[in-house]
């Protein structure tokens, strides 16, 4: 990078990163919420002036389509001070809670876009926690299936619906996302994040990605041993995180060159495993939030070499993709940087352009300065690949480097691969350890029994050290060396880089370092089953006490045990037979079409008893979970909660109610117990009232909803409250479907407080603090 540009980059690195967010969910929903931002909040913010100068209102980021990604540059003091900004902030918080907005760094949104995921594809996210990119991938697999299912269920033939992607499951996407993370706590953060998506084509696993198990597919007559290969793979690997310095200022104090040296091998093994698991013709994106070539181009070059060269895997030239995204080409030459000390002091930086030069310098030091030690993690493949004939050359310039100054973002590295042929296993395969073996087609078959053995930790590195767990948090030096680098000014750094080969450069005194984690993480608490608690509160609100359920949902117990032990615990995923009495009862009560599959319902207890909750998964999810759970694949999560059981006082024809999470999946196929609402004021009444509301013979007039409740066939139990898109006087563009509990003389809407607040704000711009407090403060007895 030219010196002037480097200074410019440094200037940006020293400034705060603008906040950014993305509209999420199905495209139609995302566009609607975006339009509320554009029509309600932006015009109110635009006239604000600070010290006579107009403020910068939130604005869409130009290289993302459809204005679905926005930047907020205004300072937080301004946001706190001015009411239109405060309103906007309230909207952001509410929509984030209800899953329509996701706060995410701009650069972090890029890797999934370069994957070109379409509905129907099988996708693996190898290092997925906390899950922001998994959410993007899930949305892409989902496509516009909500709309398609609606049309198919109302009689349109599937063939008539055009569009890219496989929706042959009666309008539903046939695709699958497997989101994986090696870390127990982080994998539960991931579950928390992806659960909000209510996406049945999703599995969360907890494995070391560098040894990711081969996933078996159900046997067929001619193919007894079939393994899943993925159409798309994201390897957003653990990295030293220097690209996040704007967001995580602690990077300045904690970063050391050894972070990258310690991570290179793990990154390489993860990438290699990803390329093995990829279909021929499939795409893999490798990404880091680091600018360090040892974690980036060096990993890319080494992986291609180990996989058999450019005839097997190619780097894709993406220069015509996202044309408005400013980027720099990948590096083709670089130096490897280490920092040495003697007894923790006398810090010196060394740069090497080849492994030979490094070894030479090491030998000199061994003789002349025996106390001074280099990292023992410098390997030949960390250096630029040597010159080769043109047809073997790896075009590293096709990698993409996003620097902070190019468009006021964090830094990121992205490389896109396409697999051209089965891989040639390299002789010294570094990513296959222990009992892994090679099949004929370059597939690594891992003996899962070995992996689950406590004696043989699959996460261990060559030297027995576990891979870094605190990722992007300036991975602690794997040599146990406590060095942190100094406060490099651009001049120091440049001087060091330009210095003669391997010569030591004194590095400025390090500032008082902070021991804070670099990246504040969301709560690492394992996910608890909130909706169960919600549902019991809802019932208590009826004055109906929940009978003691004899058995807890086993998964809750497991989560609690897991929390105590901090270790992975077994989860249960038991599918119910399609003629199970509970399924039969539910299908009859709600008059659910026979076209809706009955064989994909699952419970999460060891005995497979439908006692508390019934979950729904996609077909492929079911076949993968059922085929692999006994093979030792660690499934952490799958399934969308669809039915919840209540034992309440009084006779109920059907004790099962539809759960808010799953209602949109099944509603198009339901033809009984639907209550429609086309009045703004009635819907408003139902949303602001936390307690059961009486029908028109009682204290509140529920207009046409009240009339529907007069129908004697609508016996107590769960109903669906339905507001059609663009229906009646409402003018809402959203179709709304919510679970509604019908009591003998009253009803209540069964959604969480957060969702209720978000709906009121979105649909009615309801900001009345009395109403909001009434909902927020509702204790037991409210339906939220």
Ligand X SMILES: C[S@@+](CC[C@H](N)C(=O)[O-])C[C@H]1O[C@@H](n2cnc3c(N)ncnc32)[C@H](O)[C@@H]1O
Residue 666 token pair: 């099944």
Tell me whether residue 718 is one of the annotated catalytic residues.
no
Residues from 90 through 119 that contact ligand X (CB under 6 A): 108
Kindly state the number of chain residues that form the binding site for ligand X, as judged by CB under 6 A.
22
Residue with tokens 């290179």: 264
Half-sphere exposure of 539 (CA within 13 A, CB side): 23
Instruction: Residue 633: count other Cβ atoms within 10 Å of its Cβ.
Output: 23
By CB neighbour count within 10 A (0-12 exposed, 13-18 middle, 19+ buried), where does 364 fall? Answer: exposed
* 61, 128, 313, 721: which one binds ligand X (CB under 6 A): 128
Q: Looking at 24, 98, 102, 210, which residue binds ligand X (CB under 6 A)? A: 210
Q: Which is nearer to ligand X, 127 or 603 (CB)?
A: 127
Comparison of 270 and 603: residue with beta carbon closer to ligand X: 270
Does the protein bind ligand X through residue 138 (CB under 6 A)? no
Residue 181, interface with ligand X (CB under 6 A)?
yes
Q: Which is nearer to ligand X, 298 or 538 (CB)?
A: 298
The whole-angstrom separation of Cα 770 and Cα 756 is: 14
Minimal distance in Å, beta carbon 134 to ligand X?
7
For residue 354, say whether it is annotated as part of any ligand binding site: no
Answer whether 118's CB lies under 8 Å from 143's CB. yes
Per-residue contact string for residues 525-564; x = within reach of ligand X by CB under 6 A? ----------------------------------------
Pick the piece of the chain touching ligand X (CB under 6 A) from 179-187, 331-339, 360-368, 659-667: 179-187
Structure tokens at 49: 């002036």
383-412 positions binding ligand X, by CB under 6 A: none
| Least distance to ligand X, CB of residue 728, Å | 41
Q: Are 232 and 273 spatial neighbours (Cβ–Cβ below 8 Å)? A: no
725 close to 763: Cβ distance less than 8 angstroms: no
Rounded Cα distance between 660 and 646, Å, is 15
Q: Which is nearer to ligand X, 417 or 601 (CB)?
A: 417
Least spacing, CB of residue 326 vs ligand X, in Å:
22
388: which 2 tokens?
Answer: 């080769």
- 129 marked among binding-site residues: yes
- Of the listed pieces 72-80, 180-188, 476-484, 685-693, which binds ligand X according to CB under 6 A? 180-188
232 binds ligand X (CB under 6 A): no
Decide if 664 contacts 146 (C-beta within 8 A).
yes
On the CB side of 198, how many CA atoms lie within 13 Å of its CA? Answer: 18
Continuous H helices in 339-447: 355-368, 404-407
Beta bridge partners of 287: 236, 414
Q: Does 637 bind ligand X (CB under 6 A)?
A: no
Stretch that binds ligand X, among 203-211, 507-515, 628-636, 696-704 (CB under 6 A): 203-211
Q: Is the peptide bond before 130 cis (omega within 30 degrees of 0)?
A: yes
Using CB under 6 A as the binding rule, whether residue 467 contacts ligand X is answered as: yes
Using CB under 6 A, pick the residue from 142, 186, 362, 622 that binds ligand X.
186
Q: Of 143, 238, 257, 474, which lies in the binding site for ligand X, with binding defined by CB under 6 A? A: 238
DSSP E strand boundaries for 594-716 = 601-603, 613-616, 635-638, 640-645, 656-658, 674-676, 693-694
Does residue 361 interact with ligand X by CB under 6 A? no
Choose between 208 and 661: whose C-beta lies nearer to ligand X. Answer: 208
The rounded distance, in Å, linking the Cα atoms of 58 and 588 is 50
Phi, psi of 330 (to 5 degrees): -60, 155
State the residue for tokens 């999946």. 665
Question: What's the CA angle centered on 225, arms 281 and 227, to 5 degrees?
Answer: 35
**Which of 133, 246, 306, 327 is in the footprint of ligand X by CB under 6 A?**
133
| 133 is known to lie in a ligand binding site | yes
Determine if residue 672 is labeled as part of a ligand binding site: no
For residue 229, what are the contacts with CB-CB under 8 A and spacing of at least 6? 122, 277, 278, 279, 282
183 binds ligand X (CB under 6 A): yes
> Closer to ligand X at the Cβ: 273 or 580?
273
Point out which span in 26-34, 206-214, 334-342, 570-578 binds ligand X (CB under 6 A). 206-214
Nearest residue to ligand X by CB is 127
Q: Per-residue contact track with ligand X, 483 to 522, x per CB under 6 A?
A: ----------------------------------------
Q: Pick the piece of the chain touching ligand X (CB under 6 A) from 129-137, 576-584, 617-625, 747-755.
A: 129-137
Q: How far apart are CA 354 and CA 720, in angstroms?
A: 68
Give DSSP secondary structure letters for 625-671.
Answer: HHHHGGGT--EEEE-EEEEEE---SS--S--EEE-TTTHHHHGGGB-
Q: Is 51 annotated as a binding residue?
A: no
Single residue of 182, 235, 291, 411 touching ligand X by CB under 6 A: 182
Q: Which helix (H) or strand (E) holds 274?
A: helix 257-277
Q: Decide: is 169 part of the binding site for ligand X (CB under 6 A).
A: no
With contacts defined by CB under 6 A, name the span among 50-58, 207-215, 413-421, 552-560 that binds ligand X: 207-215
Among 69, 233, 263, 471, binds ligand X (CB under 6 A): 471
Q: Toward ligand X, which CB reaches closer, 108 or 618?
A: 108
> In this chain, which of 209, 666, 688, 719 binds ligand X, going by CB under 6 A?
209
Smaller CB separation from ligand X, 293 or 739: 293
Alpha helices (H) in 37-156, listed in sequence order: 42-45, 76-81, 83-97, 110-115, 132-142, 145-153
The structure tokens 């492929």 sit at: 620
Look at the chain and count its residues: 784
127 binds ligand X (CB under 6 A): yes
Asked if residue 602 lies in contact with residue 614, where contact means CB atoms within 8 angstroms, the answer is yes
Q: Which stretch binds ligand X (CB under 6 A): 49-57, 202-210, 217-225, 579-587?
A: 202-210
Which of 57, 120, 131, 425 touches ligand X by CB under 6 A?
131
- Which one, of 471, 481, 326, lies nearest residue 400 by Cα? 326
Q: Annotated binding residue at 229?
A: no
| Cβ within 8 Å of residue 17, ≥6 positions away | 105, 246, 247, 409, 410
H or E element at residue 582: helix 581-589
Give one DSSP letter per residue of 708-742, joined into a string. Answer: HHT-TTS-SEEEEEEE-TT-GGG--SS-EEEEEEE
**With respect to ligand X, which residue has the nearer C-beta, 95 or 181?**
181
Among 129, 638, 738, 750, binds ligand X (CB under 6 A): 129
Q: Which stretch binds ligand X (CB under 6 A): 43-51, 244-252, 467-475, 588-596?
A: 467-475
Q: Which of 208, 272, 295, 381 binds ligand X (CB under 6 A)?
A: 208
132 among annotated binding-site residues: yes
Q: 289, 654, 677, 718: which one is catalytic?
A: 289
Please give the annotated binding residues, written as ranges.
127-133, 181, 208, 236
Q: Which residues are catalytic?
A: 289
Please give the annotated binding residues for S-adenosyl-L-methionine, written as ranges.
127-133, 181, 208, 236
Please give the residue ranges that form the binding site for ligand X (CB under 6 A): 108, 126-133, 181-183, 186, 208-210, 236, 238, 266, 467, 471-472
């Amino acid at each position: 990078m030219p010196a002037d540009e480097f200074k410019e980059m440094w200037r940006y690195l020293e400034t705060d990163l603008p906040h950014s967010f993305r509209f999420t969910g199905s495209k139609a929903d995302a566009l609607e919420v975006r339009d509320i931002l554009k029509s309600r909040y932006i015009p109110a913010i635009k006239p604000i002036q600070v010290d006579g100068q107009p403020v910068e209102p939130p604005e869409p980021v130009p290289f993302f389509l459809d204005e679905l990604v926005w930047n907020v540059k205004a300072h937080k003091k301004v946001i706190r001070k001015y009411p239109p900004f405060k309103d906007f902030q309230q909207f952001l918080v509410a929509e984030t809670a209800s899953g329509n907005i996701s706060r995410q760094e701009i650069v972090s949104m890029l890797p999934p876009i370069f994957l070109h995921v379409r509905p129907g594809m099988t996708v693996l996210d190898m290092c997925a926690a906390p899950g922001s990119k998994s959410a993007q991938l899930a949305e892409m697999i989902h496509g516009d299936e909500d709309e398609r299912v609606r049309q198919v269920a109302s009689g349109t033939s599937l063939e008539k619906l055009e569009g890219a992607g496989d929706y042959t499951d009666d309008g539903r996407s046939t695709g699958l996302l497997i989101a994986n993370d090696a870390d127990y706590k982080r994998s539960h953060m991931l579950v928390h994040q992806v659960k909000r998506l209510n996406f049945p084509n999703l599995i969360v696993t907890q494995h070391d990605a560098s040894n990711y198990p081969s996933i078996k597919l159900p046997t067929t007559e001619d193919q007894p041993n079939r393994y899943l290969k993925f159409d798309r793979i994201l390897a957003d690997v653990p990295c030293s995180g220097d690209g996040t310095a704007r967001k995580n200022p602690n990077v300045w104090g904690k970063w050391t060159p050894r972070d990258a040296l310690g991570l290179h091998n793990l990154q390489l093994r993860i990438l290699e495993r990803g390329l093995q698991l990829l279909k021929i013709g499939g795409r893999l994106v490798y990404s880091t939030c680091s600018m360090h070539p040892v974690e980036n181009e060096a990993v890319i070059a080494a992986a291609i070499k180990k996989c058999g060269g450019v005839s097997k895997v190619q780097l894709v030239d993406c220069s015509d993709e996202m044309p408005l995204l400013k980027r720099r080409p990948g590096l083709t030459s670089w130096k490897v940087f280490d920092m040495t000390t003697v007894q923790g002091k006398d810090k010196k930086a060394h740069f090497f352009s080849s492994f030979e030069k490094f070894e030479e310098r090491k030998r000199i030091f061994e003789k002349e300065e025996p106390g001074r030690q280099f990292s023992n993690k410098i390997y030949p493949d960390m250096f630029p690949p040597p010159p080769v004939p043109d047809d073997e050359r790896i075009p590293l310039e096709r990698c993409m480097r996003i620097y902070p100054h190019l468009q006021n973002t964090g830094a990121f590295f992205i490389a896109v691969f396409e697999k051209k042929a089965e891989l040639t296993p390299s002789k010294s395969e570094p990513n296959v350890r222990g009992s892994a073996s090679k099949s004929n087609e370059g597939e690594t078959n891992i003996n899962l029994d070995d992996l689950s053995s406590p004696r043989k930790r699959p996460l261990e590195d060559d030297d027995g050290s576990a891979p870094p767990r605190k990722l992007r948090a300036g991975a602690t030096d794997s040599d146990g060396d406590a060095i942190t680098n100094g406060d490099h000014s651009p001049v120091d750094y440049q001087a060091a880089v330009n210095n003669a080969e391997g010569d030591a450069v004194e590095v400025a005194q390090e500032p008082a370092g902070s021991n804070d984690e670099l990246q504040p993480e969301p709560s690492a608490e394992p996910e608890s089953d909130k909706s169960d608690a919600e549902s019991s509160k809802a019932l208590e609100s009826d004055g109906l006490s929940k009978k003691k359920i004899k058995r807890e949902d086993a998964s809750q117990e497991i989560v609690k045990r897991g929390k105590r032990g901090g270790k992975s615990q077994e989860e249960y995923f038991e599918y119910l037979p399609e003629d199970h009495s509970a399924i039969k009862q539910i299908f009859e009560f709600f008059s659910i079409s026979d076209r809706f599959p009955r064989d994909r319902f699952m419970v999460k207890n060891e005995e497979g008893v439908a006692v508390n909750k019934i979950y729904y998964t996609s077909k492929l999810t079911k076949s993968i979970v059922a085929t692999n759970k006994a093979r030792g694949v660690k499934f952490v999560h799958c399934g969308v909660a669809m039915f919840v059981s209540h034992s309440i006082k009084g006779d109920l024809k059907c004790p099962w109610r539809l759960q808010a999470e799953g209602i949109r999946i099944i509603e198009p196929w339901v033809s009984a117990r639907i209550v429609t609402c086309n009045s703004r004021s009635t819907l408003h009444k139902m949303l602001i009232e936390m307690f059961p509301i009486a029908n028109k013979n009682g204290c509140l007039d529920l207009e046409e909803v009240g009339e529907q409740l007069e129908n004697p066939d609508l016996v107590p139990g769960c109903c669906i409250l339905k507001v059609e898109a663009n229906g009646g006087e409402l003018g809402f563009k959203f179709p709304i479907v919510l679970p509604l509990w019908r009591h003998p003389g009253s009803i209540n809407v069964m959604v969480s407080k957060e969702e209720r607040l978000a709906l009121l704000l979105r649909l009615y711009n309801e900001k009345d603090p009395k109403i909001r407090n009434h909902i927020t403060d509702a204790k037991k007895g409210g339906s939220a």
